[in-house]
Amino acid sequence: MNIKNEPDYPVVIVDDEESILLSMDTSLRLAGISNVITCGDSRDVMDIIARHHAEVVLLDLTMPHINGQELLTRMVADYPDIPVIIVTGTADTDTAVQCIKKGAFDYIVKPINTDRLTSAVEQALKFNELQRENLSLKSHMLADTIENPDAFAPIITRNRKMFSIFKYIESIAKTRQAVLVTGETGVGKELISRSLHMLSGRPGPFVSVNVAGLDDNVFSDTLFGHVKGAFTGADTARRGLIEQASGGTILLDEIGDLSVISQVKLLRLLQEGEYRPLGVDEPRQANVRIVASTNRDLDSLQNLGTFRKDLLFRLRIHHVHIPPLRKRLDDIPLLLNHFLLEAARDFNVPRPTHPPELALLLQNYSFPGNIREMQAMVFDAVSRHHSKMLSMAVFEKYIQKQKSLGTRMQIPMESTDRIVFPESLPTIEEATASLVAEAMKRAQGNQSMAARMLGISQQAVNKRLKKIPPIDPLQS
């Protein structure tokens, strides 16, 4: 993604000191960012933004008339899409951190370092561009198909398969039938389930419970509840989740681990729409939508006799399967920016600058833990971050460790991922040349990145490339 040095809207610099305004204006223009407006009176800021909008705002904290914190509060409320970078004196860094928590994008400490200034502004411009690209793609793909895109706002994506899932969810949201949500660990099954509930229009709450490891008695008590005196120790009545979620939705997570005895009780609930709290003779009518989720293959469990065929039929009236992150590579740059901003706010630090090749490195990792794993990787890297540029070493070390675990990663290999040999086997040199060419294609021509994938030095990659005919690594 190319960031324009001449943004559509101006970079607005707000400071009551004329010398600082001039210095920042000059630094940005020398860096090629020439669409700049300076403001020396804090009372004029909101009018300037109202007239010209703004791509980024550089905001001094200590000013007469209206201070930076008050202006930040107004901007976050009125223009939440405009990144605000706080400019502060050394003594005000604690206040700047508080501003980050209130919604500021980043902060810069005086005296201002030119590289730090341009880096912060460029990161804000990149973030804006990525956000606009995502919103544009969403609008294009959802136009005339998705009536309530806000229901999917917590799901960070621009992937076509995910938008197809959104469309399907909206089409089934109003029904009362059960929904089965499947996908690997960490793909966002609960977020999808919450979107389904939001779109359903059901007035009751969304309630989630992990049923893995619950024995039959605990499952019954959790779902159906009990009355006082139903069993020894039942000194008070307990409302089960069916009652608590009345009029709403229950998500039964890890349904593939539910015991066979408990499966029978769940099947009866789905078939009859009735349940009995422990100690109650007369059945009660259930008014709840059942959503079940799992990362396991229920068809295989059915063949093994550990999951009932009739229950699977009832649960899979509507089926949503969420693709793994390795099948959504176009989401990785967007997720990386999202998690960097989220981690910076959690750790009360400025949002780090990341190397351009980091997204490419992540796009060539299989992510067995999917989005949840990527979030953990980014948060760990930010927690260790102490320099200007976010180090790739933390990511590379983690990925190498996961590769060394081998089969413990438990990544399913699709048939299309397997190496298919021709009838006549290639020589070692021919096979090596093909492997290097494939690595260069995946690395988009970056020899250093290709070397990392192959586990050899960049010099070795360069040497082998000289032995094979020239190729265009960007062609698929």
Q: How confident is the model at residue 441 (pLDDT cuts 50, 70, 90)?
A: confident
Q: How confident is the model at residue 433 (pLDDT cuts 50, 70, 90)?
A: confident
Q: At what angle do helices 370-383 and 332-346 cross, to 10 degrees?
A: 50
What pLDDT sits at residue 1? 36
Nearest to 378 by CA among 362, 366, 365, 401: 362
What pLDDT sits at residue 71? 94
- pLDDT of 143 above 90: no
- Architecture of domain 149-323 in CATH? 3-Layer(aba) Sandwich (3.40)
Query: What pLDDT, in 10s, does the model give residues 82-103?
Result: 999 999 887 777 888 888 888 9
- pLDDT of 207 above 90: yes
Residue with tokens 């209206």: 66
What pLDDT sits at residue 416? 46
Fold of 326-409: Helicase, Ruva Protein; domain 3 (1.10.8)
What pLDDT sits at residue 120? 92
Considering the chain, what is the average pLDDT of its residues? 86
Helix (H) or strand (E) segment spanning residue 403: helix 393-404
pTM tops 0.85, yes or no: no
Q: How confident is the model at residue 282 (pLDDT cuts 50, 70, 90)?
A: confident
Residue 474 CB neighbours (<10 A): 9
- Architecture of domain 419-465 in CATH? Orthogonal Bundle (1.10)
Please state, in angstroms and rounded to a whole number, the distance separating the CA atoms of residues 37 and 279: 73
Tell me if 57 sits within 8 A of 99, measured CB to CB: no
Half-sphere exposure of 215 (CA within 13 A, CB side): 1
Domain at 7-127, CATH homologous superfamily: Response regulator (3.40.50.2300)
Question: CA angle, corner 453, sides to 448 and 455, nearest 5?
Answer: 90
Query: What ranges make up the beta strands (E) of 241-355?
Result: 249-253, 274-275, 284-285, 289-294, 318-321
Domain ranges of the chain: 7-127, 149-323, 326-409, 419-465
Query: What pLDDT, in 10s, does the model give residues 300-350?
Result: 999 999 999 999 999 999 999 999 999 999 999 999 999 999 999 999 888
* Region for 186 from its dihedrals, namely left if φ exceeds 0, alpha if ψ lies in -120 to 50, beta otherwise: left
User: Which amino acid makes up residue 397?
Assistant: K
Tell me if 93 sits within 8 A of 109, measured CB to CB: yes
Residue with tokens 């200590």: 62
The answer to whether 7-127 and 149-323 have equal CATH topology is: yes
Please state, in angstroms and rounded to a whole number, the distance separating the CA atoms of residues 374 and 380: 10
Tell me if 332 sits within 8 A of 362, measured CB to CB: yes
